[in-house]
Amino acid sequence: MTDLTDLTLAEILTAMRAGALTSLELTRACLERAERLEPALHAFLYLAAEQALDKAAQADRQWAAWRLDPRQTLPPLLGVPLAVKDVLCVQGMPCTCGSRILEGFIPPYHATAVERLLAAGAIVLGKTNTDEFAMGSSTEHSAFGVTHNPWDLERVPGGSSGGSAVTVAARLASVALGTDTGGSVRHPASFTGVTAIKPTYGRVSRFGLVAFGSSLDVVGAFARKVEDAAAVYQVMAGADERDATTSNLAVQLFEPAPAAHKPLAGLRLGVPDEYFITGIQPEVEAAVRAALSVFEQLGVIIQPISLPHTSYALPVYYIIAPAEASANLARYDGVRYGRRAAGGNMWDVFRRTRGEKFGPEVKRRIMLGTYALSAGYYDAYYGQAQKVRTLIRRDFISAFEQVDLIAAPVTPTTAFRIGEHADDPLAMYLEDIFTLPANLAGIPALAFPVGFDQQGLPVGMQLMAPHFEEQRLFHAGCAYQQVTGWHQASPSLQGSKI
Protein backbone atom coordinates (compact mmCIF):
# COMPACT_ATOMS: atom_id res chain seq x y z
CA MET A 1 0.00 0.00 0.00
CA THR A 2 1.20 3.53 -0.67
CA ASP A 3 1.82 5.87 2.24
CA LEU A 4 -1.50 6.38 4.02
CA THR A 5 -1.17 10.13 3.90
CA ASP A 6 -0.99 9.93 0.11
CA LEU A 7 -4.45 8.42 -0.28
CA THR A 8 -7.25 10.28 -2.02
CA LEU A 9 -10.68 10.54 -0.48
CA ALA A 10 -12.13 7.79 -2.65
CA GLU A 11 -9.21 5.50 -1.74
CA ILE A 12 -9.61 6.28 1.97
CA LEU A 13 -13.33 5.59 1.98
CA THR A 14 -12.99 2.39 -0.07
CA ALA A 15 -10.26 1.09 2.25
CA MET A 16 -12.28 2.00 5.36
CA ARG A 17 -15.38 0.36 3.94
CA ALA A 18 -13.39 -2.81 3.33
CA GLY A 19 -11.93 -2.71 6.82
CA ALA A 20 -8.42 -2.36 5.36
CA LEU A 21 -7.83 1.05 6.94
CA THR A 22 -9.00 2.65 10.15
CA SER A 23 -9.49 6.32 10.78
CA LEU A 24 -7.17 6.00 13.75
CA GLU A 25 -4.35 4.70 11.53
CA LEU A 26 -4.86 7.47 9.01
CA THR A 27 -5.25 10.24 11.59
CA ARG A 28 -2.19 9.00 13.45
CA ALA A 29 -0.20 8.93 10.20
CA CYS A 30 -1.18 12.54 9.46
CA LEU A 31 -0.33 13.69 12.98
CA GLU A 32 3.02 11.88 13.03
CA ARG A 33 3.91 13.42 9.70
CA ALA A 34 2.81 16.82 10.95
CA GLU A 35 4.96 16.43 14.05
CA ARG A 36 7.97 15.53 11.93
CA LEU A 37 7.53 18.22 9.27
CA GLU A 38 6.02 21.09 11.21
CA PRO A 39 9.35 22.55 12.34
CA ALA A 40 10.22 23.04 8.66
CA LEU A 41 6.77 23.92 7.29
CA HIS A 42 4.82 25.69 10.04
CA ALA A 43 1.47 24.99 8.37
CA PHE A 44 -0.50 24.69 11.62
CA LEU A 45 -1.17 27.31 14.26
CA TYR A 46 -2.89 24.77 16.47
CA LEU A 47 -2.88 20.99 16.44
CA ALA A 48 -5.72 19.18 18.17
CA ALA A 49 -3.96 15.81 18.25
CA GLU A 50 -5.69 14.18 21.22
CA GLN A 51 -9.13 15.31 20.24
CA ALA A 52 -8.56 14.16 16.66
CA LEU A 53 -7.48 10.70 17.83
CA ASP A 54 -10.58 10.43 20.05
CA LYS A 55 -12.85 11.37 17.18
CA ALA A 56 -11.04 8.94 14.89
CA ALA A 57 -11.65 6.11 17.36
CA GLN A 58 -15.32 7.10 17.45
CA ALA A 59 -15.46 7.07 13.65
CA ASP A 60 -13.93 3.60 13.66
CA ARG A 61 -16.66 2.39 15.99
CA GLN A 62 -19.24 3.74 13.54
CA TRP A 63 -17.48 1.99 10.66
CA ALA A 64 -17.39 -1.25 12.61
CA ALA A 65 -21.12 -1.01 13.38
CA TRP A 66 -21.79 -0.35 9.72
CA ARG A 67 -19.82 -3.42 8.68
CA LEU A 68 -22.15 -5.50 10.84
CA ASP A 69 -25.17 -3.84 9.30
CA PRO A 70 -24.32 -2.24 5.95
CA ARG A 71 -27.90 -1.06 5.40
CA GLN A 72 -27.23 1.97 7.62
CA THR A 73 -26.32 5.14 5.80
CA LEU A 74 -23.03 6.50 6.95
CA PRO A 75 -21.96 10.14 6.85
CA PRO A 76 -20.02 10.74 3.60
CA LEU A 77 -16.64 11.73 5.08
CA LEU A 78 -16.56 9.45 8.09
CA GLY A 79 -13.06 9.40 9.59
CA VAL A 80 -11.40 11.73 7.05
CA PRO A 81 -8.71 14.10 8.49
CA LEU A 82 -9.40 17.76 7.75
CA ALA A 83 -7.36 20.92 8.39
CA VAL A 84 -9.20 24.22 8.92
CA LYS A 85 -7.93 27.72 8.11
CA ASP A 86 -7.67 29.76 11.27
CA VAL A 87 -10.33 32.27 10.21
CA LEU A 88 -13.14 29.72 10.60
CA CYS A 89 -14.54 29.02 14.04
CA VAL A 90 -14.18 25.53 15.42
CA GLN A 91 -15.83 25.33 18.83
CA GLY A 92 -13.27 24.95 21.60
CA MET A 93 -10.19 25.53 19.43
CA PRO A 94 -8.33 28.86 19.40
CA CYS A 95 -9.15 31.13 16.45
CA THR A 96 -6.54 33.83 15.91
CA CYS A 97 -6.93 34.76 12.22
CA GLY A 98 -3.14 34.98 12.25
CA SER A 99 -3.46 38.07 14.45
CA ARG A 100 -2.24 39.07 17.90
CA ILE A 101 -5.53 40.87 18.44
CA LEU A 102 -7.44 37.59 18.62
CA GLU A 103 -4.86 35.69 20.65
CA GLY A 104 -6.65 33.69 23.30
CA PHE A 105 -10.06 33.77 21.58
CA ILE A 106 -11.77 30.38 21.75
CA PRO A 107 -15.04 30.38 19.82
CA PRO A 108 -18.00 28.84 21.63
CA TYR A 109 -19.56 27.65 18.35
CA HIS A 110 -18.70 26.13 14.96
CA ALA A 111 -18.77 27.90 11.61
CA THR A 112 -21.56 26.40 9.49
CA ALA A 113 -19.04 24.97 6.99
CA VAL A 114 -17.18 23.26 9.83
CA GLU A 115 -20.38 22.07 11.50
CA ARG A 116 -21.51 20.42 8.27
CA LEU A 117 -18.16 18.73 7.75
CA LEU A 118 -18.18 17.44 11.32
CA ALA A 119 -21.70 16.13 10.80
CA ALA A 120 -20.36 14.41 7.67
CA GLY A 121 -17.81 12.61 9.85
CA ALA A 122 -14.64 14.64 9.14
CA ILE A 123 -11.96 14.83 11.86
CA VAL A 124 -10.52 18.29 12.52
CA LEU A 125 -6.74 17.98 12.95
CA GLY A 126 -6.17 21.62 13.78
CA LYS A 127 -6.13 25.23 12.59
CA THR A 128 -3.85 26.42 9.82
CA ASN A 129 -1.69 29.47 9.32
CA THR A 130 -2.95 32.45 7.34
CA ASP A 131 -2.00 35.99 6.50
CA GLU A 132 -3.44 38.18 9.25
CA PHE A 133 -7.23 38.35 8.73
CA ALA A 134 -6.64 36.67 5.34
CA MET A 135 -4.98 39.81 3.94
CA GLY A 136 -2.09 38.79 1.76
CA SER A 137 -0.82 36.38 -0.87
CA SER A 138 2.08 34.67 0.86
CA THR A 139 1.20 33.83 4.49
CA GLU A 140 4.11 36.14 5.41
CA HIS A 141 1.66 38.54 7.05
CA SER A 142 0.75 36.04 9.76
CA ALA A 143 1.67 37.39 13.20
CA PHE A 144 2.87 33.90 14.05
CA GLY A 145 5.51 33.38 11.38
CA VAL A 146 5.55 32.34 7.75
CA THR A 147 4.50 28.95 6.35
CA HIS A 148 7.09 27.35 4.05
CA ASN A 149 6.40 25.89 0.63
CA PRO A 150 7.07 22.12 0.70
CA TRP A 151 8.43 22.24 -2.87
CA ASP A 152 11.15 24.67 -1.79
CA LEU A 153 11.35 25.66 1.85
CA GLU A 154 12.90 29.02 0.97
CA ARG A 155 9.73 30.01 -0.84
CA VAL A 156 6.26 31.11 0.22
CA PRO A 157 3.28 28.77 -0.18
CA GLY A 158 1.09 31.60 -1.49
CA GLY A 159 -1.81 32.92 0.50
CA SER A 160 -3.67 33.79 2.36
CA SER A 161 -4.74 30.17 3.00
CA GLY A 162 -1.10 29.03 2.76
CA GLY A 163 -1.25 26.81 5.82
CA SER A 164 -4.23 24.83 4.54
CA ALA A 165 -2.73 24.41 1.07
CA VAL A 166 0.49 23.11 2.62
CA THR A 167 -1.31 20.57 4.80
CA VAL A 168 -2.70 18.99 1.64
CA ALA A 169 0.45 19.41 -0.49
CA ALA A 170 2.76 17.98 2.20
CA ARG A 171 0.30 15.20 3.11
CA LEU A 172 -0.42 16.39 6.64
CA ALA A 173 -4.17 16.25 5.99
CA SER A 174 -6.37 14.61 3.38
CA VAL A 175 -8.47 17.72 2.75
CA ALA A 176 -8.49 21.29 4.06
CA LEU A 177 -10.66 24.39 4.23
CA GLY A 178 -9.64 27.85 3.11
CA THR A 179 -11.31 31.11 2.23
CA ASP A 180 -11.17 33.07 -1.01
CA THR A 181 -11.89 36.82 -0.91
CA GLY A 182 -9.58 37.74 -3.77
CA GLY A 183 -7.87 34.46 -4.56
CA SER A 184 -6.78 33.04 -1.22
CA VAL A 185 -7.80 29.48 -2.01
CA ARG A 186 -6.68 29.35 -5.64
CA HIS A 187 -3.41 31.25 -5.15
CA PRO A 188 -1.82 28.93 -2.58
CA ALA A 189 -3.25 25.90 -4.39
CA SER A 190 -1.33 27.02 -7.46
CA PHE A 191 1.91 27.66 -5.54
CA THR A 192 1.79 24.27 -3.81
CA GLY A 193 0.43 22.07 -6.60
CA VAL A 194 -2.93 21.07 -5.17
CA THR A 195 -6.54 21.23 -6.38
CA ALA A 196 -8.96 23.76 -4.89
CA ILE A 197 -12.50 25.03 -5.39
CA LYS A 198 -13.65 28.60 -4.83
CA PRO A 199 -17.43 28.29 -4.89
CA THR A 200 -19.96 30.86 -6.11
CA TYR A 201 -20.44 33.72 -3.65
CA GLY A 202 -23.41 32.75 -1.46
CA ARG A 203 -23.09 29.03 -2.12
CA VAL A 204 -21.39 28.28 1.22
CA SER A 205 -22.45 29.96 4.44
CA ARG A 206 -20.10 32.58 5.94
CA PHE A 207 -21.54 32.07 9.42
CA GLY A 208 -18.63 31.57 11.80
CA LEU A 209 -16.10 32.85 9.26
CA VAL A 210 -14.34 35.93 10.60
CA ALA A 211 -15.34 38.61 8.08
CA PHE A 212 -12.80 40.31 5.80
CA GLY A 213 -14.65 41.59 2.71
CA SER A 214 -18.26 40.56 3.22
CA SER A 215 -19.36 40.95 -0.40
CA LEU A 216 -16.43 38.80 -1.56
CA ASP A 217 -15.67 36.19 1.14
CA VAL A 218 -16.35 32.55 0.33
CA VAL A 219 -15.27 29.29 1.97
CA GLY A 220 -13.47 26.85 -0.33
CA ALA A 221 -11.73 23.49 -0.15
CA PHE A 222 -8.30 22.02 -0.92
CA ALA A 223 -7.82 18.40 -1.93
CA ARG A 224 -5.57 16.05 -3.90
CA LYS A 225 -7.95 15.87 -6.83
CA VAL A 226 -11.13 17.33 -8.24
CA GLU A 227 -13.55 14.64 -6.98
CA ASP A 228 -12.24 15.12 -3.45
CA ALA A 229 -12.68 18.89 -3.59
CA ALA A 230 -16.20 18.32 -4.95
CA ALA A 231 -17.00 15.95 -2.08
CA VAL A 232 -16.00 18.54 0.52
CA TYR A 233 -17.75 21.32 -1.36
CA GLN A 234 -21.07 19.55 -1.56
CA VAL A 235 -21.12 18.83 2.16
CA MET A 236 -20.53 22.54 2.98
CA ALA A 237 -22.72 24.11 0.29
CA GLY A 238 -26.34 25.11 0.62
CA ALA A 239 -28.69 27.54 2.30
CA ASP A 240 -28.14 28.56 5.91
CA GLU A 241 -30.58 30.77 7.77
CA ARG A 242 -27.64 32.27 9.68
CA ASP A 243 -26.19 33.79 6.49
CA ALA A 244 -28.81 35.70 4.49
CA THR A 245 -26.59 35.77 1.39
CA THR A 246 -26.72 31.98 0.98
CA SER A 247 -28.75 30.72 -1.94
CA ASN A 248 -31.70 28.34 -1.74
CA LEU A 249 -30.75 26.68 -5.03
CA ALA A 250 -30.38 22.94 -4.56
CA VAL A 251 -26.79 21.66 -4.43
CA GLN A 252 -26.15 19.13 -7.17
CA LEU A 253 -24.13 16.07 -6.32
CA PHE A 254 -21.10 15.42 -8.49
CA GLU A 255 -20.64 11.99 -10.01
CA PRO A 256 -17.36 11.58 -11.90
CA ALA A 257 -18.04 10.26 -15.39
CA PRO A 258 -16.09 7.14 -16.39
CA ALA A 259 -13.02 7.86 -18.53
CA ALA A 260 -14.13 8.18 -22.14
CA HIS A 261 -12.60 9.00 -25.51
CA LYS A 262 -13.77 12.63 -25.77
CA PRO A 263 -15.53 13.28 -22.47
CA LEU A 264 -15.78 17.04 -23.01
CA ALA A 265 -16.97 16.94 -26.62
CA GLY A 266 -18.59 20.21 -27.60
CA LEU A 267 -17.74 22.10 -24.41
CA ARG A 268 -16.73 25.65 -25.31
CA LEU A 269 -13.72 26.93 -23.39
CA GLY A 270 -13.02 30.66 -23.57
CA VAL A 271 -9.45 31.91 -23.31
CA PRO A 272 -9.32 35.64 -22.48
CA ASP A 273 -6.48 37.58 -24.11
CA GLU A 274 -6.32 39.82 -21.04
CA TYR A 275 -4.94 36.98 -18.91
CA PHE A 276 -1.87 36.39 -21.05
CA ILE A 277 -0.15 39.67 -20.38
CA THR A 278 3.48 40.69 -20.57
CA GLY A 279 5.23 39.96 -17.32
CA ILE A 280 3.74 36.50 -16.99
CA GLN A 281 6.48 33.91 -16.41
CA PRO A 282 6.96 32.11 -19.74
CA GLU A 283 6.85 28.67 -18.09
CA VAL A 284 3.48 29.52 -16.53
CA GLU A 285 2.05 30.49 -19.89
CA ALA A 286 3.57 27.40 -21.54
CA ALA A 287 2.11 25.02 -18.94
CA VAL A 288 -1.33 26.60 -19.19
CA ARG A 289 -1.23 26.48 -22.99
CA ALA A 290 -0.17 22.82 -22.84
CA ALA A 291 -3.16 22.14 -20.58
CA LEU A 292 -5.39 23.84 -23.13
CA SER A 293 -4.15 21.38 -25.77
CA VAL A 294 -5.05 18.51 -23.43
CA PHE A 295 -8.53 19.98 -23.11
CA GLU A 296 -8.72 20.15 -26.90
CA GLN A 297 -7.87 16.47 -27.12
CA LEU A 298 -10.70 15.84 -24.67
CA GLY A 299 -13.10 17.40 -27.16
CA VAL A 300 -13.23 20.98 -25.91
CA ILE A 301 -13.59 23.80 -28.42
CA ILE A 302 -11.16 26.58 -27.55
CA GLN A 303 -12.45 30.05 -28.25
CA PRO A 304 -10.53 33.31 -27.79
CA ILE A 305 -12.65 35.76 -25.82
CA SER A 306 -12.26 39.22 -24.34
CA LEU A 307 -12.99 40.41 -20.82
CA PRO A 308 -12.27 44.07 -21.51
CA HIS A 309 -12.46 45.41 -17.95
CA THR A 310 -9.98 42.91 -16.50
CA SER A 311 -7.25 45.48 -15.90
CA TYR A 312 -9.54 47.40 -13.53
CA ALA A 313 -10.06 44.40 -11.25
CA LEU A 314 -6.94 45.09 -9.20
CA PRO A 315 -7.67 48.77 -8.37
CA VAL A 316 -11.37 48.02 -7.86
CA TYR A 317 -10.67 45.15 -5.49
CA TYR A 318 -8.10 47.13 -3.55
CA ILE A 319 -10.76 49.76 -2.84
CA ILE A 320 -13.74 47.51 -2.15
CA ALA A 321 -11.96 44.87 -0.05
CA PRO A 322 -10.17 47.37 2.24
CA ALA A 323 -13.37 49.43 2.53
CA GLU A 324 -15.31 46.39 3.73
CA ALA A 325 -12.38 45.30 5.88
CA SER A 326 -12.16 48.69 7.59
CA ALA A 327 -15.83 48.36 8.58
CA ASN A 328 -15.52 44.70 9.62
CA LEU A 329 -12.39 45.27 11.67
CA ALA A 330 -13.80 48.26 13.56
CA ARG A 331 -15.13 45.85 16.18
CA TYR A 332 -11.63 44.91 17.40
CA ASP A 333 -11.17 47.65 19.93
CA GLY A 334 -10.38 45.65 23.06
CA VAL A 335 -13.87 46.28 24.41
CA ARG A 336 -16.30 44.60 22.05
CA TYR A 337 -13.76 42.20 20.54
CA GLY A 338 -10.07 41.58 20.76
CA ARG A 339 -7.45 41.20 23.42
CA ARG A 340 -7.30 44.48 25.29
CA ALA A 341 -4.06 46.42 25.67
CA ALA A 342 -3.59 48.28 28.94
CA GLY A 343 -4.40 51.97 28.71
CA GLY A 344 -5.88 54.98 30.46
CA ASN A 345 -9.19 56.27 29.12
CA MET A 346 -11.36 54.56 26.52
CA TRP A 347 -9.72 56.21 23.51
CA ASP A 348 -6.34 55.31 24.85
CA VAL A 349 -7.40 51.65 25.16
CA PHE A 350 -8.77 51.66 21.59
CA ARG A 351 -5.62 53.28 20.22
CA ARG A 352 -3.23 50.98 22.01
CA THR A 353 -5.18 47.80 21.34
CA ARG A 354 -5.41 48.49 17.62
CA GLY A 355 -2.00 50.11 17.39
CA GLU A 356 -0.15 47.32 19.15
CA LYS A 357 -2.02 44.24 18.03
CA PHE A 358 -2.77 44.75 14.34
CA GLY A 359 0.12 44.08 11.95
CA PRO A 360 1.27 46.54 9.26
CA GLU A 361 -0.73 45.04 6.36
CA VAL A 362 -3.99 45.11 8.33
CA LYS A 363 -3.32 48.73 9.32
CA ARG A 364 -2.61 49.59 5.70
CA ARG A 365 -5.95 48.09 4.63
CA ILE A 366 -7.85 49.85 7.41
CA MET A 367 -6.33 53.18 6.41
CA LEU A 368 -6.98 52.61 2.70
CA GLY A 369 -10.55 51.53 3.37
CA THR A 370 -11.35 54.30 5.82
CA TYR A 371 -10.01 56.85 3.37
CA ALA A 372 -12.02 55.42 0.48
CA LEU A 373 -15.20 55.55 2.56
CA SER A 374 -14.68 58.99 4.07
CA ALA A 375 -17.08 61.86 3.32
CA GLY A 376 -16.02 63.68 0.19
CA TYR A 377 -14.12 60.71 -1.24
CA TYR A 378 -16.83 58.06 -1.03
CA ASP A 379 -18.27 58.70 -4.51
CA ALA A 380 -14.88 59.12 -6.15
CA TYR A 381 -13.48 55.86 -4.78
CA TYR A 382 -15.96 53.43 -3.30
CA GLY A 383 -18.93 54.51 -5.45
CA GLN A 384 -16.84 54.44 -8.62
CA ALA A 385 -15.31 51.08 -7.74
CA GLN A 386 -18.78 49.59 -7.31
CA LYS A 387 -19.74 50.78 -10.79
CA VAL A 388 -16.64 49.28 -12.35
CA ARG A 389 -17.28 46.08 -10.41
CA THR A 390 -20.61 45.85 -12.25
CA LEU A 391 -18.79 46.21 -15.58
CA ILE A 392 -16.42 43.38 -14.64
CA ARG A 393 -19.36 41.20 -13.70
CA ARG A 394 -21.07 42.03 -17.00
CA ASP A 395 -17.92 41.09 -18.91
CA PHE A 396 -18.29 37.58 -17.53
CA ILE A 397 -22.02 37.39 -18.10
CA SER A 398 -21.63 38.29 -21.76
CA ALA A 399 -18.61 35.99 -22.20
CA PHE A 400 -20.68 33.11 -20.82
CA GLU A 401 -23.18 33.68 -23.62
CA GLN A 402 -20.47 32.47 -26.00
CA VAL A 403 -18.57 29.90 -23.91
CA ASP A 404 -19.31 27.39 -21.14
CA LEU A 405 -16.11 27.87 -19.13
CA ILE A 406 -13.20 30.30 -19.05
CA ALA A 407 -9.60 29.17 -18.64
CA ALA A 408 -6.72 31.24 -17.26
CA PRO A 409 -3.53 31.02 -15.24
CA VAL A 410 -3.97 31.43 -11.47
CA THR A 411 -0.85 33.48 -10.81
CA PRO A 412 1.57 35.29 -13.12
CA THR A 413 4.56 33.45 -11.61
CA THR A 414 5.37 30.35 -9.61
CA ALA A 415 6.12 30.60 -5.87
CA PHE A 416 8.41 33.50 -4.98
CA ARG A 417 11.08 33.61 -2.31
CA ILE A 418 10.24 34.44 1.28
CA GLY A 419 10.86 38.15 1.72
CA GLU A 420 10.91 38.91 -2.01
CA HIS A 421 7.88 41.25 -1.83
CA ALA A 422 8.45 42.29 1.77
CA ASP A 423 9.03 45.98 1.07
CA ASP A 424 6.64 46.30 -1.82
CA PRO A 425 2.93 45.92 -1.03
CA LEU A 426 2.00 46.69 -4.63
CA ALA A 427 4.10 43.79 -5.93
CA MET A 428 2.20 41.59 -3.47
CA TYR A 429 -1.15 42.94 -4.70
CA LEU A 430 -0.13 42.17 -8.30
CA GLU A 431 -0.03 38.50 -7.32
CA ASP A 432 -3.83 38.57 -7.33
CA ILE A 433 -4.27 39.97 -10.80
CA PHE A 434 -5.81 36.79 -12.27
CA THR A 435 -7.81 35.69 -9.25
CA LEU A 436 -9.61 38.91 -8.28
CA PRO A 437 -12.06 39.13 -11.22
CA ALA A 438 -13.90 35.91 -10.21
CA ASN A 439 -14.42 37.31 -6.69
CA LEU A 440 -15.66 40.65 -7.96
CA ALA A 441 -18.12 38.83 -10.26
CA GLY A 442 -19.03 36.25 -7.59
CA ILE A 443 -18.48 33.32 -9.95
CA PRO A 444 -17.00 29.91 -9.03
CA ALA A 445 -13.50 28.82 -10.05
CA LEU A 446 -11.47 25.65 -9.82
CA ALA A 447 -7.66 25.68 -9.55
CA PHE A 448 -5.52 22.63 -10.29
CA PRO A 449 -1.89 21.86 -11.13
CA VAL A 450 -0.85 21.72 -14.79
CA GLY A 451 2.94 21.40 -14.68
CA PHE A 452 6.19 22.61 -13.18
CA ASP A 453 8.66 25.33 -13.99
CA GLN A 454 12.36 24.63 -14.51
CA GLN A 455 13.04 24.89 -10.81
CA GLY A 456 10.48 22.20 -10.08
CA LEU A 457 7.84 24.57 -8.71
CA PRO A 458 4.20 23.81 -9.47
CA VAL A 459 2.18 25.82 -12.00
CA GLY A 460 -1.59 26.11 -11.61
CA MET A 461 -4.46 26.93 -13.90
CA GLN A 462 -8.03 27.92 -13.18
CA LEU A 463 -11.35 27.34 -14.84
CA MET A 464 -14.16 29.81 -14.17
CA ALA A 465 -17.87 29.06 -14.65
CA PRO A 466 -21.14 30.97 -14.52
CA HIS A 467 -22.76 31.45 -11.08
CA PHE A 468 -23.75 28.14 -9.44
CA GLU A 469 -22.23 26.02 -12.22
CA GLU A 470 -19.66 24.31 -10.00
CA GLN A 471 -20.63 20.97 -11.56
CA ARG A 472 -19.32 22.13 -14.91
CA LEU A 473 -15.96 22.91 -13.29
CA PHE A 474 -15.77 19.53 -11.59
CA HIS A 475 -16.72 17.71 -14.77
CA ALA A 476 -14.00 19.43 -16.83
CA GLY A 477 -11.34 19.30 -14.10
CA CYS A 478 -12.00 15.65 -13.45
CA ALA A 479 -11.72 14.78 -17.17
CA TYR A 480 -8.37 16.60 -17.26
CA GLN A 481 -7.05 14.75 -14.21
CA GLN A 482 -8.14 11.41 -15.68
CA VAL A 483 -5.59 11.84 -18.47
CA THR A 484 -2.82 13.75 -16.65
CA GLY A 485 -0.73 13.11 -13.56
CA TRP A 486 0.29 16.57 -12.29
CA HIS A 487 -2.08 16.32 -9.33
CA GLN A 488 -0.38 13.11 -8.20
CA ALA A 489 3.07 14.66 -7.83
CA SER A 490 4.10 15.28 -4.25
CA PRO A 491 7.06 17.21 -2.87
CA SER A 492 9.97 15.03 -1.82
CA LEU A 493 10.73 17.15 1.25
CA GLN A 494 14.24 15.79 1.32
CA GLY A 495 15.72 19.15 2.35
CA SER A 496 18.67 19.22 4.70
CA LYS A 497 16.60 20.65 7.56
CA ILE A 498 14.18 17.69 7.66
Q: Which of 160, 161, 164, 205 is catalytic?
A: 160
Per CB under 6 A, the list member of 321, 362, 463, 465 interacting with ligand GLN is 321
Q: Distance between CA atoms of 94 and 104, rounded to whole angstroms?
A: 6
Residues with Cβ < 8 Å from 106, sequence gap 6 or more? Answer: 92, 93, 94, 95
Give residue 467's identity as a one-letter amino acid code. H
Nearest to 83, CA basis, from 104, 57, 114: 114
Q: Which is nearer to ligand GLN, 339 or 364 (CB)?
A: 364
Per rule CB under 6 A, is residue 86 in the interface with ligand GLN? no
Q: Which of 99, 138, 164, 184 is catalytic?
A: 184
Cβ atoms 77, 232 nearer than 8 A = yes
Least distance in Å: CB of 196 to ligand GLN? 12
E strands in 86-122: none
For residues 291, 292, 296, 297, the Cα torsion angle rounded to the nearest 10 degrees is -10
Q: Distance between CA atoms of 183 and 218, rounded to whole angstroms?
A: 10
Q: Which is nearer to ligand GLN, 85 or 171 (CB)?
A: 85
Contacts with ligand GLN in 409-468 (CB under 6 A)? 432
- Annotated active-site residue 160? The verdict is yes
Q: Which is nearer to ligand GLN, 435 or 481 (CB)?
A: 435
Least distance in Å: CB of 168 to ligand GLN? 17
Contacts with ligand GLN in 194-223 (CB under 6 A)? 212
Q: Which positions from 115 to 134 touch ligand GLN by CB under 6 A, shown as an x/- string?
A: -------------------x
Cis peptide upstream of residue 161 (ω within 30 degrees of 0): no
Nearest to 132, CA basis, from 107, 167, 163: 163
Least distance in Å: CB of 369 to ligand GLN? 11
Q: Which is nearer to ligand GLN, 324 or 395 (CB)?
A: 324
User: Within a 13 Å sphere around the CA of 29, how many CA atoms are in the beta-carbon half?
Assistant: 20
Per CB under 6 A, the list member of 9, 21, 135, 366 interacting with ligand GLN is 135
Per rule CB under 6 A, is residue 136 in the interface with ligand GLN? yes
Least distance in Å: CB of 181 to ligand GLN? 4
Q: Distance between CA atoms of 272 and 285, rounded to whole angstroms?
A: 13
**How far from the centroid of its chain's Cα atoms is residue 422's Cα?**
22
Q: Which positions from 152 to 191 touch ligand GLN by CB under 6 A, shown as an x/- string?
A: --------x------------------xxxxxx-------
**How far from the centroid of its chain's Cα atoms is residue 467's Cα?**
18
Which residues are marked as active site? 85, 160, 184
Contact residues for ligand GLN (CB under 6 A)?
A: 134-137, 160, 179-184, 212, 321, 432
